[in-house]
Amino acid sequence: MIYLDNNATTPLDPRVTEKIIAFIKEHFGNPSSLYPLGREVKGLVTEAREQVAAALGARRSEIIFTSSGTEADNLAILGLAEAQPEKREFITSSIEHPAVLETARYLEAHGYTVHYLPVDQTGLIDLDFLKSVISPNTFLVSVMLANNEIGTIEPIEEVVKIAHRYGVPVQTDAVQAFGKMEVKVDSLGIDLLSVSAHKVYGPKGAGALYIRKGLDLKPVLHGGHQEFGLRPGTENTSGIIGFGEAARILREEWQKDRNRLEKLADRLKSGLEKRIRGIKFNGHPEKRIKSTLNFSFPGLPAEAILLALATREIYVSTGSACTEGSGEVSHVLLALGLSQEEASSALRLSLGRFNTEQDIDQTLAELPGVIDDLRREFGS
Ligand SMILES: Cc1ncc(COP(=O)(O)O)c(C=O)c1O
């Protein structure tokens, strides 16, 4: 099997698997319990929090564990909205993940005004538009750090500079950036930042929100006092322990991973461009996560390519896993100005820690033939 869909999810790192298994075998205590069984688990959750915080250059007390990147995004946006009820405007980009976009729609349905920043043909947001719509009535600006479909890296430091002039906090969805580029809260200047364990070789069901010290947020769920009173519910302890280990590994190895993956991705990109006529690359040529590759094959439906590759045990995606199967064309590619036809012929290949040179060579050997066959079949 060749797995080239690492932006959808990543396999567990075997070191994470081991850590989780050892933990669940030995510990069932509730971290809120005051006797040793609970205290021990609380200590391990704190260690995991330390690891996630260290990977982001944050303090341990600034990390709230959630069930997912989606929940972290919701908590950031809705939690801040609720903390400043007098402010009724929200700014985000038109190419966010549904975790942010659907939360924006929810706000609109509840009477908020939402401004969607347009992007250029490479996926970079329009900073002048941001300057023209931001106001003291804005409660938050939320712009993703790296896009999940095309990998474009947004100018978050610039967004922060503009927003802070108005005293407006900034959140970034760093779910796809974490582990693939330097993500440090202080150099970004960010106030809130979301990450997810299953995108960094950790388990599903664990995410985290960084909240800069001093920023006031209200909980979105209501219940106990877990997670500093911001995320009630007994903690997903094994998920959190796994996330901590994934973050530890990532802190030590992300640069090595990135350098290796960039070389593999370059080889895949130039190999495909050489071998397949009419292939069109989508995204920014430079400012992007290089291990995310998005191409259009005009005239061919992406699903047909995906399924033909799947029969050869090569797994790729037609866009984000969340819109796949919905029949919807990618809102990201349409926002870049692609036609319906170009957008519906787009394939995403995303590389990860466990991909090898053989994976790339095999894909280069198979994909051009698949495209030729389909072009004959579709007469394009
Ligand atoms: C940019 C981005 N944000 C948020 C999410 C949602 O994360 P999770 O699957 O942990 O809810 C994803 C997952 O695809 C993503 O790519």
* Gyration radius of the chain over CA positions: 21
Cα dist. 134→92, 129, 349 in Å?
11, 9, 36
Task: Tell me, yes or no, whether 35 and 156 share the same domain.
Answer: yes
- In angstroms, the CA 298 to CA 37 distance is 59
Over residues 252-267, mean pLDDT: 98
Task: Tell me, yes or no, whether 222 and 82 share the same domain.
Answer: yes
Indicate which residue's Cα is closest to atom 14 of ligand 1. Answer: 8
User: Of 199, 229, 249, which residue constitutes the final position of a domain?
Assistant: 249
pLDDT band at 380 (very low <50, low <70, confident <90, very high): confident
**pLDDT tens per residue, range 138-190:** 999 999 999 999 999 999 999 999 999 999 999 999 999 999 999 999 999 99
% of the chain with per-residue pLDDT over 70: 98
- Selected residue with higher pLDDT from 62 and 328: 62
* Residue 350, Cβ density class (10 Å: 0-12 exposed, 13-18 middle, ≥19 buried): buried
Task: Tell me, yes or no, whether 332 and 262 share the same domain.
Answer: yes
- In angstroms, the CA 25 to CA 331 distance is 44
Q: CB-side exposure of 17: number of CA atoms within 13 Å?
A: 5
Q: Is the pLDDT of residue 325 over 70?
A: no
Per-residue model confidence (pLDDT) at position 324: 56
Which atom of ligand 1 has the smallest separation from the CA of 68? Answer: 10
- Listed in sequence order, the residues at least 6 apart from 121 whose beta carbon sits closer than 8 Å to its beta carbon are 336, 337
- Tally of domains in the chain: 2
- Choose among 96, 257, 275: nearest CA to 180: 257
For residue 287, what is the domain's CATH number?
3.90.1150.10
User: Of 184, 217, 249, which residue constitutes the final position of a domain?
Assistant: 249
Which atom of ligand 1 has the smallest separation from the CA of 146? Answer: 1
173 alpha carbon to ligand 1 midpoint, in Å? 8
Task: Tell me, yes or no, whether 262 and 245 share the same domain.
Answer: no
Query: Best mutation site among 142, 196, 198, 236 for ligand 1, i.e. most ligand atoms within 8 A of its Cβ?
Result: 196
Which atom of ligand 1 has the smallest separation from the CA of 144? Answer: 1
- Choose among 332, 352, 360: nearest CA to 344: 332
pTM: 0.97
Give me 30's structure tokens.
């509730």
User: Of 249, 273, 298, which residue constitutes the final position of a domain?
Assistant: 249
For residue 170, what is the domain's CATH number?
3.40.640.10
Per-residue model confidence (pLDDT) at position 174: 98
Query: Best mutation site among 96, 100, 145, 148 for ligand 1, i.e. most ligand atoms within 8 A of its Cβ?
Result: 148
Q: Is the pLDDT of residue 257 over 90?
A: yes
Q: Is the pLDDT of residue 17 over 70?
A: yes
Ligand 1 pocket (Cβ < 6 Å) reads: 68-70, 97, 99, 144, 148, 173, 175-176, 196, 198, 207, 320-322
65 alpha carbon to ligand 1 midpoint, in Å? 15
Contact yes or no for 152/283 (Cβ under 8 A):
yes
Task: Tell me, yes or no, whether 132 and 234 share the same domain.
Answer: yes
pLDDT band at 327 (very low <50, low <70, confident <90, very high): low
Which atom of ligand 1 has the smallest separation from the CA of 71? Answer: 11
Q: Is the pLDDT of residue 259 over 60?
A: yes
46 alpha carbon to ligand 1 midpoint, in Å? 24
322 alpha carbon to ligand 1 midpoint, in Å? 9
Indicate which residue's Cα is closest to atom 13 of ligand 1. Answer: 8
Query: Best mutation site among 199, 318, 323, 348 for ligand 1, i.e. most ligand atoms within 8 A of its Cβ?
Result: 199
- Listed in sequence order, the residues at least 6 apart from 77 whose beta carbon sits closer than 8 Å to its beta carbon are 90, 100, 103, 104, 107, 140, 142, 171
**pLDDT tens per residue, range 331-372:** 999 999 999 999 999 999 999 999 999 999 999 999 999 999
Q: Is the pLDDT of residue 320 over 60?
A: no
CB atoms within 10 A of CB 21: 12
Active site residue 358: no
Q: Is the pLDDT of residue 252 over 70?
A: yes
Which atom of ligand 1 has the smallest separation from the CA of 321? Answer: 14
Q: Is the pLDDT of residue 280 over 60?
A: yes
Task: Tell me, yes or no, whether 88 and 132 share the same domain.
Answer: yes
Which atom of ligand 1 has the smallest separation from the CA of 204? Answer: 10
**pLDDT tens per residue, range 82-116:** 999 999 999 999 999 999 999 999 999 999 999 99
Indicate which residue's Cα is closest to atom 8 of ligand 1. Answer: 69
Task: Tell me, yes or no, whether 219 and 338 share the same domain.
Answer: no
Q: Which residue has the tokens 């060579």?
A: 361
pLDDT band at 279 (very low <50, low <70, confident <90, very high): very high
Task: Tell me, yes or no, whether 285 and 189 share the same domain.
Answer: no
Over residues 20-32, mean pLDDT: 98
Q: Which residue has the tokens 């430091």?
A: 157
99 alpha carbon to ligand 1 midpoint, in Å? 7
- Listed in sequence order, the residues at least 6 apart from 67 whose beta carbon sits closer than 8 Å to its beta carbon are 205, 206, 207, 236
Measured at the CA of 357, the angle between CA 353 and CA 361, to 5 degrees, comes to: 130
Measured at the CA of 56, the angle between CA 193 and CA 15, to 5 degrees, comes to: 115
39 alpha carbon to ligand 1 midpoint, in Å? 32
Active-site residue, from 83, 127, 322, 364: 322
- Selected residue with higher pLDDT from 302 and 320: 302
226 alpha carbon to ligand 1 midpoint, in Å? 23
% of the chain with per-residue pLDDT over 90: 97
37 alpha carbon to ligand 1 midpoint, in Å? 33
Task: Tell me, yes or no, whether 130 and 197 share the same domain.
Answer: yes
For the chain, the three-class secondary structure string (H helix, E strand, C coil) is CEECECCCCCCCCHHHHHHHHHHHHHCCCCCCCCCHHHHHHHHHHHHHHHHHHHHHCCCHHHEEEECCHHHHHHHHHHHHHHHCCCCCEEEEECCCCHHHHHHHHHHHHCCCEEEEECECCCCCECHHHHHHHCCCCEEEEECCCECCCCCEECCHHHHHHHHHHCCCCEEEECCCCECCECCCHHHHCCCEEEEEHHHCCCCCCCEEEEECCCCCCCCCCCCCCCHHHCCCCCCCHHHHHHHHHHHHHHHHHHHHHHHHHHHHHHHHHHHHHHHCCCCEECCCCCCECCCEEEEECCCCCHHHHHHHHHHCCEECECCCCCCCCCCCCCHHHHHCCCCHHHHCCEEEEECCCCCCHHHHHHHHHHHHHHHHHHHHHHCC
- In angstroms, the CA 351 to CA 293 distance is 8
Task: Tell me, yes or no, whether 350 and 368 share the same domain.
Answer: yes
Indicate which residue's Cα is closest to atom 16 of ligand 1. Answer: 148
Per-residue model confidence (pLDDT) at position 379: 85
Residue 232 belongs to domain spanning? 14-249
**pLDDT tens per residue, range 45-79:** 999 999 999 999 999 999 999 999 999 999 999 99
Question: Sign of the CA dihedral 43, 49, 53, 58?
Answer: negative
Task: Tell me, yes or no, whether 232 and 281 share the same domain.
Answer: no
Query: Best mutation site among 175, 201, 332 for ligand 1, i.e. most ligand atoms within 8 A of its Cβ?
Result: 175
Task: Tell me, yes or no, whether 267 and 218 share the same domain.
Answer: no
